[in-house]
């Protein structure tokens, strides 16, 4: 290859070569200076520092004596003792490991005696640290908790077998609804408002459409109420209803109502809910409920 055309870029005058050489000398000198220099800072010690520290120790000691300070020891559940906590209490690594292995089996110690049996701590160490142990209330009062559990189970069972009248949700008053656990004035008003908008409920599954009702409350409602569709229900004639009438139906709104009218004019009457469900954006998951408000 011919590199002669590059000579004009690599040609330097005498002064330029001297300048480049001096630049290299400066760079190498700075590198050597940085390499062999010690940039670590030494702490400046005050000649009076030790004297100050001695005074401060005396002051702290006098404050401690004056306030009669005592180390605060907090009660704890020994089942959840940490390595550091066990070490501070005087336990050996082996003793702590025994407790950890015991806990990995999803077991618990429920007394100081069981703690000693599992860990193998000495009597003297147990007497020293057992005063800090705090076990759950149910451990210390097993008899009382067992009695309460039995009474609660008996009450729950008697409540389950208790018979009650199942009411028609369409005839329920606000007082009837408030009797259900979890329903107050606000939720009961929403249920009644939803019934007013729809004209009547046709399924208890419509409780899921009432904002604020939890699954547990809906289950309670279904156990205390049922749906009896009134004979006076005003159904919508989907093949003859106007756009305005269809758009006022809560499950349709204006956009879907317009598509229904357009589809009807182009394809003829709807024979059943399956024909209606062919329309785009139709809420298929609610087709069964919607069909009970329509007539074909």
pLDDT classification of 84: cutoffs 50, 70, 90: confident
Question: Which distant-in-sequence residues (6+ apart) come within 8 Å of 111 by Cβ?
Answer: 135, 139
Question: What six digits make up the tokens of 15?
Answer: 């002064």
Dmax (CA) for the chain in angstroms is 114
pLDDT classification of 82: cutoffs 50, 70, 90: confident
The yes or no reply on domain 167-226 and CATH 1.10.3720.10 is: no
Q: Which residue has the tokens 């011919």?
A: 2
**Res 159 pLDDT > 50:** no
Which of 104-108, 175-179, 259-263 shows the lowest per-residue confidence on average (mean pLDDT)? Answer: 104-108
pLDDT score recorded for residue 223: 93
**Res 169 pLDDT > 90:** yes
pLDDT score recorded for residue 156: 52
Q: What CATH number matches the domain at 236-295, 1.10.150, 1.10.3470, 2.40.160, 3.30.310?
A: 1.10.150
pLDDT classification of 157: cutoffs 50, 70, 90: very low
Q: Quick one: average pLDDT of 96-119? A: 87
Q: Determine how β-strand 225-226 pairs with β-strand 167-168.
A: parallel
Q: Tell me: the pLDDT tens digits for 2-49?
A: 556 666 666 678 888 888 889 889 999 988 888 877 666 555 555 665
**Res 170 pLDDT > 70:** yes
% of residues, the chain, pLDDT over 90: 42
Q: Tell me: the pLDDT tens digits for 177-231?
A: 999 999 999 999 999 999 999 999 999 999 999 999 999 999 999 999 999 999 9
Mean pLDDT (the chain, rounded): 82
Q: Quick one: average pLDDT of 83-103? A: 86
pLDDT classification of 81: cutoffs 50, 70, 90: confident
Q: Tell me: the pLDDT tens digits for 110-151?
A: 888 988 998 898 988 888 888 888 877 655 555 555 555 556
Please give, one letter per residue, the 3-state secondary structure of 199-258.
Answer: CCCCCHHHHHHCCCCCHHHHHHHHHHEECCCCCCCCCEECCCCCHHHHHCCCCCHHHHHH
**Res 73 pLDDT > 90:** no
Report how far residue 57's alpha carbon sits from residue 60's, in angstroms, rounded to the nearest whole number: 5
Report how far residue 26's alpha carbon sits from residue 67's, in angstroms, rounded to the nearest whole number: 67
pLDDT score recorded for residue 86: 83
Taking the whole predicted model, whether its pTM rises above 0.75 is answered as no
H-only helix segments in 37-77: 49-67
pLDDT score recorded for residue 161: 44
**Res 103 pLDDT > 90:** no
**Length of the chain (residues):** 296
Contact 147, 108 (CB under 8 A): no
pLDDT score recorded for residue 34: 82
């Amino acid at each position: 290859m011919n590199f002669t055309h590059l000579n004009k870029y690599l040609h330097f005058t005498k002064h330029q070569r001297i300048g480049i050489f001096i630049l290299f000398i400066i760079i190498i000198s700075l590198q050597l200076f940085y390499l062999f220099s010690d940039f670590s800072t030494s702490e400046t010690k005050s000649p009076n520092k030790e004297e100050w520290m001695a005074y401060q120790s005396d002051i702290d000691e006098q404050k401690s004596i004056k306030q009669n300070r005592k180390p605060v020891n907090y009660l704890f559940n020994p089942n959840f003792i940490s390595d550091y906590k066990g070490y501070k209490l005087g336990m050996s690594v082996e003793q702590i490991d025994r407790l950890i292995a015991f806990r990995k089996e999803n077991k618990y110690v429920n007394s100081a005696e069981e703690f000693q049996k599992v860990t193998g701590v000495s009597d003297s160490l147990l007497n020293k640290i057992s005063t800090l142990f705090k076990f759950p209330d149910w451990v210390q009062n097993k008899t009382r908790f067992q009695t309460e559990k039995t009474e609660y189970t008996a009450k729950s069972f008697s409540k389950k077998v208790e018979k009650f009248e199942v009411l028609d949700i369409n005839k329920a008053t606000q007082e009837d609804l408030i009797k259900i656990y979890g329903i107050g004035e606000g939720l009961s008003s929403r249920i009644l408002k939803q019934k007013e908008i729809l004209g009547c409920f046709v399924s208890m599954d419509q409780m899921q459409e009432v904002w604020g009702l939890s699954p547990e409350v809906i289950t309670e409602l279904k156990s205390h109420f049922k749906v009896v569709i009134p004979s006076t229900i005003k159904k919508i004639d989907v093949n003859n209803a106007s756009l305005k009438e269809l758009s006022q139906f809560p499950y349709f709104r204006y956009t879907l109502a317009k598509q229904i009218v357009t589809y009807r004019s182009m394809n003829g009457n709807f024979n059943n809910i399956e024909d209606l469900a062919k329309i785009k954006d139709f809420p298929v998951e609610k087709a069964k409920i919607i069909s009970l408000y329509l007539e074909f």
